[in-house]
Amino acid sequence: MARINHKVSPWLAFWDTSNSIFVNARHKEVHYRQMAQEILRYLPSRAARVLDYGSGEALCANLVAAAAGQVLLCEAAPRIRARVASRFADTPKIRVVAPEEVERLPAHSLDLIVLHSVVQYLTPDEAQALFALFHRLLERNGMLIVSDVIPPSVPAIIDALALLRFSAANGFLIAAFGALVRTRFSGYWRLRKRIGSTRYAEVTMIDKLAGAGFSARRASKNFGHNRARMAFLARPR
């Protein structure tokens, strides 16, 4: 299996600093609650062992843990990982791990793996190595969910409109308008313009998962609020 590159990428360095990706505390809480609810939809049993890879702050991981056997939260950004570990230090069913620790997990030790809003920040080779690792870690009947995948033809304005719809539905529309203006002049926008994000057509992502030993299909809708993006459900062959 190809080795996964753990060097600090520009994107990882960005995520590990203070940034304005979340409009406010309300936005962050609603986002993570929605993510927990999405994961719960695919939880196979109350004994399930779940890995949320690239978990971010994972504010509502306790909701998943209450319905599962164990939840592993993998976050590559050291400062975020330390905050999450402190937050859930007294929750026995939640374990916070670094990417290197995931590589050392026993084969077939997980029932569900969620990779949300991560592949756009990886090179195709890095994504392929990660998929191969997940194939080794999943039970024979386990599932990998790869979500928030950006299609090639989706412009940035679609992301902005999706955020505005989400904020209007959840009570932070005015704050979202201000945040969009700030983002246009932020480090995020400069980084996105400089190095871009990795995008996949539906057939390309299915083929990439197949190359790692999965049988995959596109889900009926994406995880999260951005319906222009894609989610994929994959099972080991």
- Please report the pLDDT score of residue 14 as a whole number: 72
Mean pLDDT value across residues 65-79: 96
Alpha-carbon span 49 to 63, nearest angstrom = 14
**Sign of the dihedral through C-alpha 136, 127, 147, 20:** positive
**Which structural domain, as residue segments, surrounds residue 134?**
26-154+199-236
DSSP H or E segment with residue 216? strand 214-218
Structure tokens at 230: 């894609």
Domain total of the chain = 1
Establish if 172 belongs to a structural domain.
Answer: no
DSSP reduced 3-state for 159: helix
Residue 74's pLDDT band, with cuts at 50, 70 and 90, is very high
Alpha-carbon span 138 to 49, nearest angstrom = 10
Establish if 13 belongs to a structural domain.
Answer: no
- In 68-213 the beta strands, taken as DSSP E runs, fall at 70-74, 94-97, 110-116, 138-149
C-beta neighbour count of 23 within 10 angstroms: 25
Establish if 212 belongs to a structural domain.
Answer: yes
Establish if 213 belongs to a structural domain.
Answer: yes
Alpha-carbon span 53 to 148, nearest angstrom = 13
Is the CB of residue 42 less than 8 Å from the CB of residue 144? no
Establish if 119 belongs to a structural domain.
Answer: yes
Establish if 70 belongs to a structural domain.
Answer: yes
Establish if 159 belongs to a structural domain.
Answer: no
Residue 156's pLDDT band, with cuts at 50, 70 and 90, is confident
Establish if 9 belongs to a structural domain.
Answer: no
Is it the case that residue 131 has pLDDT exceeding 60? yes
Question: Could you tell me the CATH number of the domain that includes residue 215?
Answer: 3.40.50.150
- Please report the pLDDT score of residue 2 as a whole number: 43
Mean pLDDT of the chain: 91
DSSP reduced 3-state for 161: helix
Spatial CA neighbour of 178 closest among 160, 195, 194: 160
Segment among 29-33, 68-72, 185-189 with least mean pLDDT: 185-189
Most confident range (mean pLDDT) of 118-122, 151-155, 231-235 is 231-235
- Please report the pLDDT score of residue 150 as a whole number: 96
- Please report the pLDDT score of residue 201 as a whole number: 98
